[in-house]
């Protein structure tokens, strides 16, 4: 299991994420990793409030890894780093967006993905079957400076990357950044459908 390769430590009531985890009956970091991994894929109603995942029983890669990073920081573990990478999301690694990409005339969509790094290794708890396979098509990567500010940071970083990428694609002659962003949102909606296998 991925979690076993991460530091194990007890969760104390030192912050809102740890407190929410304790109320859920999750007493240590590995238990929280497993719980987060098994959450159905879907956005919480207010992405700037990651603790809502405990009540709403759903989460995306961003909120899942934000929860883990915040819990680590609340318990004095700054060595567990929250990362944001941009990878080439295509019909091979994300089959449920194949039709969407074909309609848009794109081979792939640069997508932002969150995960953890510790000791030079990548840890991805997005879903039970998650692996580090996205690393093979990773286009860019940065560490998130403030885990509590993830939604705003991720959006800004992703849009800046898309604007630069768009300018180098034939697609850019016909479509602007806002249209590309809307197209990306449709891809994400396809990923969130029950038949996608990401639940």
* Short-list 6, 15, 62, CA closest to 39: 62
Q: Using CA atoms, how far apart are residues 109 and 131, in angstroms rounded to an integer?
A: 19
* Short-list 72, 74, 82, CA closest to 29: 72
Confidence bin at 197 (pLDDT 50/70/90): very low
The predicted structure's pLDDT at residue 130: 65
Average pLDDT over residues 89-103: 90
Which of 41-45, 153-157, 169-173 has the lowest average pLDDT?
Answer: 169-173
- The domain limits of the chain are 2-74, 81-196
CA torsion sign, 79 to 85 to 91 to 92?
Answer: negative
Average pLDDT over residues 148-159: 96
The predicted structure's pLDDT at residue 170: 76
| Residue 196 pLDDT exceeds 60 | no
Q: Using CA atoms, how far apart are residues 36 and 16, in angstroms rounded to an integer?
A: 16
Return the residue matching tokens 């969509």: 109
Mean pLDDT of the chain: 90
| Residue 195 pLDDT exceeds 90 | no
The predicted structure's pLDDT at residue 133: 77
Q: Are 69 and 78 in contact (CB under 8 A)?
A: no
- Provide the strand spans (E) within 121-171: 121-123, 138-143
Q: Render pLDDT for 120-135 as a digit per residue (tens, 0 to 9).
A: 999 999 987 766 678 8
| Residue 198 pLDDT exceeds 80 | no
Q: Are 38 and 31 in contact (CB under 8 A)?
A: no
């Amino acid at each position: 299991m991925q979690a076993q390769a991460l530091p194990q430590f007890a969760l104390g009531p030192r912050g809102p994420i740890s407190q929410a985890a304790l109320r859920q009956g999750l007493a240590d970091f590995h238990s929280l990793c497993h719980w987060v991994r098994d959450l159905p894929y879907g956005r919480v109603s207010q992405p700037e409030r990651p603790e809502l995942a405990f009540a709403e029983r759903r989460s995306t890669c961003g909120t899942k890894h934000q929860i883990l990073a915040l819990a680590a920081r609340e318990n004095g573990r700054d060595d567990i780093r929250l990362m944001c990478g941009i990878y080439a999301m295509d019909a091979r690694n994300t089959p449920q967006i194949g039709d969407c990409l074909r309609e848009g005339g794109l081979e792939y969509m640069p997508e932002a993905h969150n995960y953890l790094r510790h000791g030079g290794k990548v840890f991805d708890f997005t879903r039970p079957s998650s692996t580090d396979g996205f690393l093979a098509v990773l286009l860019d990567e940065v560490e998130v400076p403030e885990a509590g500010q993830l939604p705003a940071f991720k959006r800004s970083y992703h849009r800046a990357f898309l604007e630069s990428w768009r300018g180098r694609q034939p697609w850019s002659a016909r479509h602007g950044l806002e249209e590309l962003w809307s197209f990306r949102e449709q891809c994400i909606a396809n990923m969130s459908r029950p038949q996608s296998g990401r639940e």
